[in-house]
Amino acid sequence: MSYNWFHHLAKRKLVVKTKRKGFHKGMRVSSAFGYSFDFSDYRQYELGDDPRRIDWNVYARTEKLYIKRFLDEQEISVVVYLDSTTSMTLDEKKWEFAKLLAAAFGFIALNNEDRFTFLPVGEHWNTPPLERKGSSFSKNIVDHICELPKEKENSTDFSKNMEKRFIPMRDLTIIITDAWEPIDQIATLFQRIAPRVKEVRFLHILGKEEIAPPYERDVQLVDSEQNTTVNVSMSNTVVEKYKNRLHQHIKRLEVLCRRYKIHYLQVVEGENLHKFFLQTCIKHGWLE
Amino acid sequence: MGFLNPYMFALITLIGLFVLFYFFRKQYEKKVIPSNMIWIQVMKEREASRFFQKWQNHLLFWLQLLSLLFLMFALMRPYLTVEREKGEEFIFIVDTSATMLANHGSKTVFDRHKEEMLSILDQLHEQEVTIITAGSNPEIQLWKESDRKKIKDAIEGLSVTYEHENIAQALRLARAMLANEKGAIHLFSDGVKWEEVTKIINDRYVVVHNSQEDVINVSLRSFVVGSMFDKVKGIAVLKNDSDVKREATFSVKGEKGILFQKTVVLSPDSEMLIPIDSLPKQSFYYGIVDVEDEYVPDNFSTALFHQNTQPVYVHGNISPFFVRGLESIGVDVYHLDDQQTAPHEKGIVATDLSSIEDDYGIGYFLFESTTENLEPVLGSIKQVDDPLLNYVDMRNVHISKSRSSSPFNELESIVSVGDRPLIQKGMLDGIPTVAFLFPIEQTDWPMHPNFPIFLYNSYEWLVQQSKPMEYFQPGEKKWLNFESELVEVFSIDGKNLYTVQTNREAFQAPFEPGIYQAISGHQIYYFSVLIDEQEKKVSSEKSFTLNDSLLDGTTGEKQQVGTNSLWFPLALFALLILFVEWEVFRRNA
């Protein structure tokens, strides 16, 4: 999949509600007043203020001491967890699509001088997280993510592994997964990470075949992770039932996310990503 | 080694069915998908939620139970008690004579009998049926058949042959065939009397199906034509056998159209003679009675015109009454003296018993001429049922003396007193003969009106016997000599009916009354098939049953028996259920 259209994303940035001061200077408006050129407001001088900040022109006119305040520009830290279990990697297209999504977030973050961390989550990934800052890395990170190989062995238990490798107190946590796990496990994950995160986005990715099963006649469906099998004689009613169940599953995920104040978005493999980022994400306040 | 039921090997196709089942067995295509989490839920829901699904889980159980039940019932060898007709073996004797065509309402007796036979057939279970038709000679139409379809076809294929029935002979045949004491004879006729049957069979169960009701019948008893003084004259006798008055139209039809017609009223139980004074000369005539009655075949007769009537040569001392009598019925009579040479033409010779040596006689009237050695005739005169004695009642005739014994043993006596024959008929050295064993002078018979009738009957009989190709009984067989070996028989409207090879087989006349043509070489013979005189009178009797107690002694007419073929459908059901069971098992697996 091409990412030629990524330059459209260059001017976008990730929206974070909680504006906290970062350790490093960035391009982001911080709630703390700093040294940027953007004017904020005036305030009467109080003891302890830096006398260098007094606006002497105002003093000349009013004989009162005022301090001119400027906005401070700060970075935020963004971490992307990409589900790399077998359910994600089984379908090549779905896997490429998921990687592209992660790369796009990385691209946007780095182009905004934010700190970006990428973490594939699987049973066998033990490599340290990839952390970058600066727009100079934006191309690099895209290539890196897109070339991420599949795990060689069967990989399962996304939630447990994510919990294991969880990096706390990042400004923005983006989870990209197909959520093929019992809701309880996901709930446990949310519960465990909730006190240690600031803002979480949950991107639920589904394959085309998962939305509308194209199978016919009698099939034995094998779970890619659990290896469990189920015999299904395909029929319209069965497919209808499946769709109902899937819908329920999604609804429960949404409810769960809402409970933990996590933004939920669903994306289906093969969807127009350009449209997804520039319309859906902006509409839902993920980007601006 | 051998197989008793080799055709059961056809069941091997079932094995083929198994193989087919195996091929069509549900085969699940393996498919790895990211997660079957939802699918498992769906399938669980499907199994758990629906009542049907629940029931399907138990289906195997129910099917097995059902299969076992059926098998159990099959092994119990169930049977049904069904009503079946009495008798272990059946003989149907079917009268196919013309009188069976008498109508009762809209159906003929024959059709009614057929229906009766079919209804008996419906109540048969594995009993064998033999069908004998009682024509002039009994014929076996079906021999110990138990295949219902074949019996039905045979019954439906029966048709009236117009022959006079010979019930006695058919009964004898049936009795001989029915060795089984538990067998039943069903006789289908119209007027069979109790004695007629008991005379022949009294140790078997016999059901006689008679016509039950009397029939209104007007018949054309007799219709003849002859020439007299170059004129063709005819005579017809109509008889009303019923006890109601009937108006009838008698007409004579020739080759083209109606030649004579007369309407008469016949009072109950009466006879009427219709003289026909003049008819145009034609080779045959139809006599038709148009009347409202219930028996049609006797309303019609045919007569062939004897172009060259046989002359009668009177030789010796013959009663003038006889000569007059013959002349009155239009016969040419010639007197021959002892010295006179033989005539050119052959003819019938009337002579006395002493002198019967000539070579031109084709038939004889023989008379007792001497009065010596005669014994007085005492007691009542008896006569047999014979065509010669039609309309002739000898009981009122007085005969004073007759010969004590007949010189002709080969002749059959038709009129007798005690053991003494008075009139005999038959073949004498191959020549038809009628012999009077009393002198005509010794009787008042010539004074009776039936004397010329008897003469006519006798004359006709002698002529008929000498000219074979004229009158036949329905289906009558005769060995005949024709100039060609091949004789083709045509109906009068030119339809070819059949061909006879006279050197190999006897000539058989058609069954249906009427005029026919036989063509042999260049010669065309007209012949007429007439129904038997006795078939012109329809008799009727009530149905009855003989020796009812012989069969089992069960009450009523029907008997309860079991059929044991019920196990088969049950076993079949069990097998079918087994198949369904496999299918269910296969689906569940």
Average pLDDT over residues B30-40: 84
Confidence of residue A71 (pLDDT cuts 50, 70, 90): low
Contact A211/B at CB under 8 A: no
Is B523 a residue whose pLDDT tops 80? Answer: no
Q: CB within 8 A of B575, min separation 6: which ones?
A: none
CA distance B588 to chain A (A): 10
Is B554 a residue whose pLDDT tops 50? Answer: no
Distance CA B451, CA B415 (A): 14
Query: Of A17, A40, A74, which marks where a domain is finished?
Result: A74
A49 within a domain of the structure (yes/no): yes
Q: Which of A182, A231, A246 sits opposite B28 (nearest CB)?
A: A231
Confidence of residue A251 (pLDDT cuts 50, 70, 90): very high
Same domain, yes or no, for A97 and A188?
A: yes
More confident residue, A75 or A107: A107
Burial class (CB in 10 A: 0-12, 13-18, 19+), B470: middle
Same domain, yes or no, for A134 and A60?
A: no
* CA distances (Å), origin A5, targets A92, A272, A273: 21, 11, 9
Given an 8 Å threshold on Cβ–Cβ distance, is A222 in contact with B36?
A: yes
When the pLDDT of each residue in chain B is averaged and rounded to a whole number, the result is 80
Average pLDDT over residues B111-128: 85
Q: What pLDDT does B3 receive?
A: 66
Over the range B341-379, which residues count as b (16 or more CB within 10 Å of their CB) and which as e? eeeeebbbbbbbbeebeeeebbbbbbbbbeeeebeebee
Phi, psi dihedral angles at B356 (to 5 degrees): -125, 55
Nearest Cα neighbor of B84 from B548, B543, B563 is B563
Nearest residue of A to residue B31 by CA position?
A: A221
A230 within a domain of the structure (yes/no): no
Distance CA A64, CA B437 (A): 190
Q: What pLDDT does A20 receive?
A: 53
Q: What pLDDT does A212 receive?
A: 87
Interval B327-360: pLDDT, tens: 888 788 888 776 566 666 667 888 887 666 666 6
Q: What pLDDT does A23 receive?
A: 53
Nearest Cα neighbor of B191 from B532, B545, B543, B548 is B543
Same domain, yes or no, for A33 and A106?
A: no
Provide, rounded to the nearest whole percent, the portion of chain B with pLDDT above 70.
85
Report helix, strand or coil for B290.
strand
A245 within a domain of the structure (yes/no): no
A221 within a domain of the structure (yes/no): no
Nearest residue of A to residue B42 by CA position?
A: A242
Same domain, yes or no, for A164 and A200?
A: yes
Is B293 a residue whose pLDDT tops 80? Answer: yes
Distance CA B466, CA B473 (A): 16
Task: Specify the DSSP class assigned to residue A6.
Answer: G
Same domain, yes or no, for A182 and A114?
A: yes
Q: Which residues of A touch B38 (CB under 8 A)?
A: 242, 245-246, 249
Given an 8 Å threshold on Cβ–Cβ distance, is B39 in contact with A228?
A: no
**Helix or strand run (H / E) with residue B500:** strand B496-501
Name the β-bridge partners of A68: A42
Q: What pLDDT does A286 receive?
A: 84
Task: Mutate one of B27, B31, B38 to test the A interface: name it (highest A CB count within 10 A).
Answer: B38
Average pLDDT over residues B494-507: 81
Average pLDDT over residues B367-373: 78
Nearest Cα neighbor of B511 from B219, B96, B100, B211 is B96
Q: What pLDDT does A204 receive?
A: 92
Given an 8 Å threshold on Cβ–Cβ distance, is A221 in contact with B31?
A: yes
Count the domains in chain A.
2
Q: Which residues of A touch B43 (CB under 8 A)?
A: 230-232
Q: Which of A220, A233, A245 sits opposite B31 (nearest CB)?
A: A220
Average pLDDT over residues A213-237: 84
CA distance B52 to chain A (A): 15
Same domain, yes or no, for A157 and A60?
A: no
What sign for the dihedral angle of Cα B569, B571, B572, B578? Answer: positive
The answer to whether A156 and A180 have CB atoms below 8 angstroms apart is no
CA distance B15 to chain A (A): 26
Given an 8 Å threshold on Cβ–Cβ distance, is A224 in contact with B34?
A: yes
Same domain, yes or no, for A173 and A192?
A: yes
When the pLDDT of each residue in chain A is averaged and rounded to a whole number, the result is 82
Q: Which of A91, A241, A245 sits opposite B34 (nearest CB)?
A: A91
Q: Which residues of A touch B40 (CB under 8 A)?
A: 228, 230
Q: What pLDDT does A192 receive?
A: 87
Same domain, yes or no, for A108 and A182?
A: yes
Burial class (CB in 10 A: 0-12, 13-18, 19+), B480: middle
Average pLDDT over residues A71-92: 81
Is B557 a residue whose pLDDT tops 50? Answer: no
The answer to whether B46 and A234 have CB atoms below 8 angstroms apart is no
Nearest residue of A to residue B37 by CA position?
A: A180
Q: What pLDDT does B10 receive?
A: 74
Average pLDDT over residues B482-486: 69
A278 within a domain of the structure (yes/no): yes
Q: What pLDDT does B505 receive?
A: 80
Q: CB within 8 A of A235, min separation 6: which ones?
A: none
Question: E strands within B135-257?
Answer: 138-145, 184-188, 205-209, 218-228, 231-240, 246-253
Residue B435: count other Cβ atoms within 10 Å of its Cβ.
Answer: 25
Interval A153-199: pLDDT, tens: 788 888 888 888 888 888 888 999 988 888 888 899 888 888 888 88
Q: Which of A180, A222, A233 sits opposite B37 (nearest CB)?
A: A180
Name the β-bridge partners of A233: A218
Same domain, yes or no, for A70 and A113?
A: no
Domain that holds residue A95: 4-8+77-214+256-283
Q: CB within 8 A of B536, min separation 6: which ones?
A: B219, B220, B221, B239, B298
Query: Of A40, A56, A74, which marks where a domain is finished?
Result: A74
Residues A29-33: contacts with CB within 8 Å, 24+ apart? A29/A71, A29/A72, A29/A73, A29/A74, A30/A71, A30/A72, A30/A73, A30/A74, A32/A72, A32/A74, A33/A69, A33/A70, A33/A71, A33/A72
Domains of chain B, with CATH numbers?
Answer: 6-79+565-588 (no CATH), 83-214+541-563 (3.40.50.410), 218-307 (2.60.40.150), 312-466 (3.40.50.880), 471-529 (no CATH)
Same domain, yes or no, for A70 and A86?
A: no
Average pLDDT over residues B560-579: 75
The answer to whether B131 and B154 have CB atoms below 8 angstroms apart is yes
Q: What pLDDT does A255 receive?
A: 92
Q: Which of B26, B31, B42 sits opposite A238 (nearest CB)?
A: B42
Average pLDDT over residues B410-428: 86
Report helix, strand or coil for A119.
strand
Same domain, yes or no, for A115 and A165?
A: yes
A184 within a domain of the structure (yes/no): yes
Interval B226-277: pLDDT, tens: 776 667 888 888 888 888 888 888 888 887 788 888 888 888 888 888 888 8
Average pLDDT over residues B118-127: 82
Which of B54-58, B513-517, B538-542 comes out lowest in average pLDDT? B54-58
Same domain, yes or no, for A35 and A102?
A: no
Contact A236/B at CB under 8 A: no
Q: What pLDDT does B259 receive?
A: 85
CA distance A164 to chain B (A): 23
Q: What CATH number did the domain enclosing A176 receive?
A: 3.40.50.410
A240 within a domain of the structure (yes/no): no
Dihedral angle at the C-alpha atoms of B120, B122, B123, B125, nearest 10 degrees?
120
Is A39 a residue whose pLDDT tops 90? Answer: no
Q: Which of A108-112, A206-210, B64-68, B293-297 has the highest average model confidence (pLDDT)?
A: A206-210
Q: What pLDDT does A247 receive?
A: 93
Contact A219/B at CB under 8 A: yes
* CA distances (Å), origin B174, targets A101, B144, B167, B432, B558: 106, 12, 10, 34, 22
Q: Which residues of B touch A94 (CB under 8 A)?
A: 34
Task: Specify the DSSP class assigned to residue B412.
Answer: E
A194 within a domain of the structure (yes/no): yes
Contact B586/A at CB under 8 A: no
Average pLDDT over residues B7-19: 72
Question: E strands within chain A?
Answer: 25-33, 39-44, 66-74, 77-83, 115-121, 130-133, 172-177, 200-206, 218-223, 229-233, 263-268
Given an 8 Å threshold on Cβ–Cβ distance, is B31 in contact with A182?
A: no
Q: What pLDDT does A250 receive?
A: 92
Contact A249/B at CB under 8 A: yes
Confidence of residue A37 (pLDDT cuts 50, 70, 90): low
Q: What pLDDT does B211 receive?
A: 82
Given an 8 Å threshold on Cβ–Cβ distance, is A245 in contact with B28?
A: no
Distance CA A67, CA A58 (A): 9
Task: Specify the DSSP class assigned to residue B566.
Answer: T
Phi, psi dihedral angles at B303 (to 5 degrees): -135, 135
Given an 8 Å threshold on Cβ–Cβ distance, is A87 in contact with B29?
A: no
